[in-house]
Amino acid sequence: MRRTLCLAAMAMALFIGKPAFAEVISFIGKTYSPDHMEVMSPHATPEELKIFDAMAKEVKDKRGEDAEPPVKPFTGRMKVSKMLADIGQHVDSDQRLLEYAFPPEDLLSEERKLSQADLRGMEANLESLRSDIATKRKKLEEARMRYAKGAASQQEMSDIIKDMELARLKERILDDNLRMEREMAKGELELAKAKFGPKASAHNLPGQSWITSPVAGYVLWVNPEVKPGMILTKKTKLFVVGSMDPILVRALVHEIQLAKLRVGDKATIAFDTMPGKTYEATIIRIPMTANQTDVQLPSHFEVELSLPNPGLTLKEGMRGQVSVQVPDGPR
């Protein structure tokens, strides 16, 4: 009898020492890379161009016509030379993923724009005109001296003055045109820097450039339509890069079930693609706001779990059944 009581007491102690699980909460989740990053071509979107135009106008309004304008986003053409990364490949941050070049006709066009030949010609013409004005001014002084001595007529002086006024008018027009040409040349250089890099100039237009990875991780996706020789003229999604170990599982959980979950709870996940196998995961995030705002609909919250994936057997986008055992009583 005494032995039976002792065994019963030990069993009761073990029972009290372990939490009693009241139920298993189940929901569907999907795998995601923790730092899923889309790698795009450098082209500006129409929305980005609108933002640039608004910024440029604001700078001009606040600082005047001579203010330094913001760098205009890239809108040119790029020709794909080489694909340097493939799906599943591990890449480091800033590693080259794609090599591209600028079409030769675009380079020639840019070189002509940046050559500033017209600008140099206008500067030479202005310098010659100012030299001519100085000569006319000296000629007018001599005519005035001769007029004082009665050796020059009033008509001669009037003709010289008219010539000087005409030359000064040409000087103002040429000076205004030269200022506008300089502004245009400055804008063309900024555009070239946006296309070819900060060191771009009339004598330094690189024939090629590269798309690099923003993070260290694995190449998860490659645009199948982008091939060597293809010319891109608008913003294009090229790659998806992200880490895969650990991998995240995100799931929408009903508000009634959510009240029973806590950060740190352990879960098991069974994936349809791997029957008979389960994975251990941990809840790492429970949001404070629901995904829906409609008061007529029940609220669901996006819960996040962390799942070790050392063999990279789990891929991004896999669906799985998540099960969490929650203890009985208040938490």
More confident residue, 203 or 144: 144
Predicted pLDDT at 14: 46
252-271 tens-digit pLDDT: 999 999 999 999 999 999 99
- Pairing type for strands 247-254 and 231-232 reads unpaired
pTM above 0.85, yes or no: no
How far is residue 253's CA from residue 51's CA, in Å, rounded to a whole number? 38
Structural fold of domain 37-102+207-242? OB fold (Dihydrolipoamide Acetyltransferase, E2P) (2.40.50)
pLDDT in tens, 189-199: 776 766 666 66
How much is the pLDDT for 323?
96
More confident residue, 177 or 4: 177
Chain segment 18-58, per-residue pLDDT in tens: 555 578 999 999 999 998 999 999 888 888 888 877 877 77
Residue 5 is predicted with a pLDDT of 47
Q: What is the mean pLDDT of residues 312-318?
A: 93
Q: How confident is the model at residue 15 (pLDDT cuts 50, 70, 90)?
A: very low
Per-residue pLDDT for 186 more than 80? no
Cis peptide before 246 (omega within 30 of 0): yes
Contacts of 298 (CB under 8 A, 6+ apart): 254, 255, 292
pLDDT at 65: 62
Residue 60 contacts residue 67 (beta carbons within 8 Å): yes
Mean pLDDT of 137-165: 86
Model confidence pLDDT, tens digit, residues 66-95: 656 566 677 778 899 999 999 999 999 999
Three-class secondary structure of residue 131 per DSSP: helix
Report the run of H or E that residue 53 belongs to, with start and end.
helix 46-63
Q: DSSP code of 28?
A: E
- Strand, coil or helix: 302: strand
pLDDT at 10: 52
Residue 94: what are its φ and ψ, rounded to 5°? 75, 10
- pLDDT band of 228, cuts 50, 70, 90: very high
What is the per-residue pLDDT for 13? 47
Is 109 or 160 the better-scoring residue by pLDDT? 160
Rounded to the nearest integer, the mean pLDDT of the chain is 84
What is the pLDDT confidence band of residue 224, given thresholds at 50, 70 and 90? very high
Q: Is the pLDDT of residue 307 over 70?
A: yes
CATH superfamily of 18-34+243-327: Efflux pump adaptor protein, beta barrel domain (2.40.30.170)
Radius of gyration of the chain (CA): 37
- Distance, in Å, from the CA atom of 243 to the CA atom of 134, rounded to the nearest integer, reads 72
E strands present in 44-83: 78-83
Q: Which of 196-210, 257-271, 289-303 has the lowest mean pLDDT?
A: 196-210
